Chains A and B, each alone.
Chain A
Amino acid sequence: MQNGESRAGHAPLLEARGLSKNYGDTRALDGLDLTIAPGEVYCLLGPNGAGKTTTINLFLGFVAPSGGQALVSGLDVATHDRETKQRLAYIPEQVMLYRNLSGLENLEYFAALGGRGSLGRERLTEILVEAGLERDAVDRRVSEYSKGMRQKVGIAIAIAKEADALLLDEPTSGLDPKASNEFSALVERLRGRGVGVLMATHDLFRAKDTGTRVGIMRYGRLVTELSTDEIGHADLERIYLEHMHD
């Protein structure tokens, strides 16, 4: 594979080149190289402290790299903070919203900040419904929402942004199986639209089911990379556990 070009032959939406991050003496990320092309869902697996969230933070520009580069559509995050963020959507483990605003008002706000202020309320309501929120919930204040409902607003925020790439940090953590399945279906739809997805997760089943590729991380390093077409669920679990043993 050529540097800067993904397996699928497209210019990568997300690319890490020797990406490293130190916190004091601790090496949180150690020379990560990866590329994600349009329509790819790349799942980062690994235990806590493996470097998954650090990788996402580096792509979001929330922390500065100690070495290497994080690139979004070929632009270095360190020097093109705003431009790269405009191409990204982000869904954290727990989508946090403004309790005094309704789901629709929250979406309106985040969409406007993401440069989609022109979307009307009708369109935004459609997006919320597409994300799985009940139509009669869109005008209710978020203080009445469950975690699953908030997560759906988070997904709607990502859809409304129409970003090239999606960063997901443990997005199904704490969701019930039905909500997790709906979430996977939604990621699949976005993938179909050519969105590149980087998802950090502990959920091996979801990674195999949703991802096109899986990277296993440990101690800040990408220890192996697999194509989900070539392995089964049991293989993935076995390989993962093998890498977790010293």
Chain B
Amino acid sequence: MIRHIIRKEFTDVVRDGRFRWCSILVGSLLLVSLGHGWVESQRVQRERQAAQATAREHWEGQGEKNPHSAAHYGIYAFKPRLALSFVDDGVDPYAGTSVWLEAHRQNDFMLRPAQDASAAQRIGALTAAQVLQHLVPLLIILLTFGALAGERERGTLRQLLATGVGRRELATGKALGLSGALALLLVPAAAVGAAALVVATPGPAASPLARGAVLAGIYLVYFGAFLALSLAVSAWARSARTALVVLLAVWVVNGFVAPRVAVDLSKWLHPTPSALQFARTMEQDLGSGVDGIAPPDRAAITQALLEEHGVDSVQALPVNETGIYLQESEEFSNQIFDRNYGALWDTFERQTVVHEAVAAAAPLLAVRALSMGLAGTDVEQHRHFATAAETYRREMVLLMNNDMAMNSRSGDFTYAAGRELWEEVPPLDYAAPGMGWVLGNRVLSLIVLAAWLGGAILVARARVQRAEVG
């Protein structure tokens, strides 16, 4: 019996001009956003590779100079994009994509597209993720609000139930029939997405197709939750108009109110310092130390070296005392960076947990966190790359300072190293975290999203069973 309901719902919806126009609109936006995202992603990837190669050439071709000067000369690191990032650019436009690695400093990321965009561009930027997170649920609402309320209003529900069909069978058949109609829109988009993944530059993470499949599954759960919720409201509401108004209110809260509330609530619960305040604290800590992290005592370092080597002047040391001191300074500043940046990142992550918790009221927040995670554009993966870049910077500076300390003498400012040393610094070979790591970070979102689906189905079952015939 249920196949007859599915077939009828599918036929009825597909023949409905309103569905056709809405689907064409949403489908076009989805395909355009996927296409634009992919083209943009490929362009950024090419530019990144070219810029990274240029930066490498500059590093290796910087000529002969003191190694510590080379450490100041520094090198750029560019955050590679995962293949799936064309679906969801996440925090990348705001967090930046490249960082200058130099001695003494852990610099902020640069090249933030959002900084260069006008207000209109920021609002108008449409990614496939936004279409999937906002517009597809709206289409589901428009398809579903009258599923039961409309039947009741028209009087067809009485006739249907008089045939002996069960209410649950009817609702299940309707859900599957409507899903079939939605599949006409989503399956081609998924096929285009999969094809784009196959031909895309793979990026620094394995199995982009597997990530794509998991992402598709997550969006299906999200759409399923919306479908069940819409059916529940349609079964509960006295009229199709009431169902539509309630569902549009849910859509607005989910898509616009809850994300804003999550941002404000997370900032209130876990405030972050302003950029100016953060810079001042950093400067202060680097100047005088903090909480047991003290700046290196040059006199003590010198004395220890003299004692270690049994000499009475720095000129007599077999090592360059300045190089040793510079590295000690580096170790000190690294502790300050770890302390301040670590606290900042931890705050960001605590804020993310608040966002995930608010998802209990709005599933968009859960699906957004998972979408960014799988696309490799969330805060955690930004931190992962920033940590890798910082580790690389420290190794580079250590190599330079050690070379200076071991191969020159104190007071010798003429010592210069060359290409051979610069080539000892390997290119940054960044491996993005695997899918298990990503999903492990997003367990709360997975639970919340699953709870939304399960809860919506249970509510729909209960409401459908109690729906008035009219």
Chain A residues proximal to chain B, CB less than 8 Å: 57, 60, 62, 82, 85-86, 88-90, 92, 94-98, 100-101, 105, 108-110, 112-115, 117, 154, 157, 161, 167
Q: C-beta contact mask, B153-181 vs A, less than 8 Å → 1, else 0?
A: 01110111111111000000000000000
13 pairs across A/B with beta carbons < 8 Å?
A82-B164, A85-B161, A85-B164, A89-B162, A90-B162, A92-B159, A96-B154, A100-B11, A101-B15, A105-B11, A108-B4, A113-B4, A113-B5
Q: Decide if A114 touches B163 in the complex (CB within 8 Å).
A: yes
Q: Which of chain B's residues has its CB closest to A82's CB?
A: B164
Tell whether A62 pairs with B155 under 8 Å between CB atoms, given A82-B166, A112-B1, A117-B1: no
Q: Decide if A60 touches B161 in the complex (CB within 8 Å).
A: yes
The one of B4, B12, B160, B165 in contact with A100, judged by C-beta atoms closer than 8 angstroms, is: B12
Q: How far is the CA of A167 from the CA of B161 in the complex (A)?
A: 14
Chain B residues proximal to chain A, CB less than 8 Å: 1, 4-5, 8, 11-12, 15-16, 154-156, 158-166, 469
Q: Decide if B8 touches A85 in the complex (CB within 8 Å).
A: no
Chain A residues with CB under 8 Å of B162's CB are 60, 85, 88-90, 167
Q: Decide if A114 touches B159 in the complex (CB within 8 Å).
A: no
Q: Decide if B4 touches A117 in the complex (CB within 8 Å).
A: yes
Q: How far is the CA of A85 from the CA of B469 in the complex (A)?
A: 14
Most chain A CB atoms below 10 A, which of B5, B11, B158: B158
Tell whether A112 pairs with B4 under 8 Å between CB atoms, given A97-B156, A100-B15: yes
Tell whether A110 pairs with B158 under 8 Å between CB atoms, given A98-B8, A101-B11: no
Nearest-Cβ distance from residue B259 to partner chain A, whole angstroms:
37
Chain B residues with CB under 8 Å of A95's CB are 159
Chain A residues with CB under 8 Å of B469's CB are 57, 62
The one of B16, B156, B163 in contact with A96, judged by C-beta atoms closer than 8 angstroms, is: B156
Nearest-Cβ distance from residue A53 to partner chain B, whole angstroms:
11
Q: Which of chain A's residues has its CB closest to B170's CB?
A: A113
Q: How far is the CA of A109 from the CA of B166 in the complex (A)?
A: 15
Q: Decide if A96 touches B161 in the complex (CB within 8 Å).
A: no
Q: Decide if B161 touches A62 in the complex (CB within 8 Å).
A: yes
Most chain B CB atoms below 10 A, which of A86, A92, A96, A114: A96
Nearest-Cβ distance from residue A21 to partner chain B, whole angstroms:
14
Chain B residues with CB under 8 Å of A115's CB are 1, 163-164
Nearest-Cβ distance from residue A57 to partner chain B, whole angstroms:
8
Q: Which of chain B's residues has its CB closest to A93's CB?
A: B155
Nearest-Cβ distance from residue A127 to partner chain B, whole angstroms:
15
Q: Which of chain A's residues has its CB closest to B165's CB?
A: A113
Chain B residues with CB under 8 Å of A112's CB are 1, 4
With A57-B469, A60-B161 already in contact, 7 other A-B pairs whose C-beta atoms are closer than 8 Å: A88-B162, A90-B162, A96-B155, A105-B8, A105-B11, A112-B4, A115-B163
Tell whether A114 pairs with B158 under 8 Å between CB atoms, given A101-B12, A109-B4: no
Nearest-Cβ distance from residue B118 to partner chain A, whole angstroms:
45
Q: How far is the CA of A114 from the CA of B159 in the complex (A)?
A: 10
Q: How far is the CA of A167 from the CA of B163 in the complex (A)?
A: 12
Q: Which of chain B's residues has its CB closest to A110's CB?
A: B163
Q: How far is the CA of A112 from the CA of B7 in the complex (A)?
A: 11
Q: How far is the CA of A92 from the CA of B160 in the complex (A)?
A: 12
Q: Which of chain A's residues has its CB closest to B470's CB?
A: A62
Chain A residues with CB under 8 Å of B4's CB are 108-109, 112-113, 117
Q: How far is the CA of A211 from the CA of B466 in the complex (A)?
A: 36
Q: Which of chain B's residues has its CB closest to A63's CB?
A: B469
Most chain B CB atoms below 10 A, which of A92, A100, A114, A167: A100
Q: Decide if A90 touches B15 in the complex (CB within 8 Å).
A: no
Chain A residues with CB under 8 Å of B1's CB are 112-113, 115, 117
Q: How far is the CA of A60 from the CA of B16 in the complex (A)?
A: 31
Most chain B CB atoms below 10 A, which of A62, A97, A101: A62
Nearest-Cβ distance from residue B470 to partner chain A, whole angstroms:
9
Q: Which of chain A's residues has its CB closest to B162's CB?
A: A90
Q: How far is the CA of A88 from the CA of B163 in the complex (A)?
A: 8
Chain A residues with CB under 8 Å of B16's CB are 100
Q: Decide if B163 touches A94 in the complex (CB within 8 Å).
A: no
Nearest-Cβ distance from residue B239 to partner chain A, whole angstroms:
15
Q: How far is the CA of A62 from the CA of B158 in the complex (A)?
A: 8
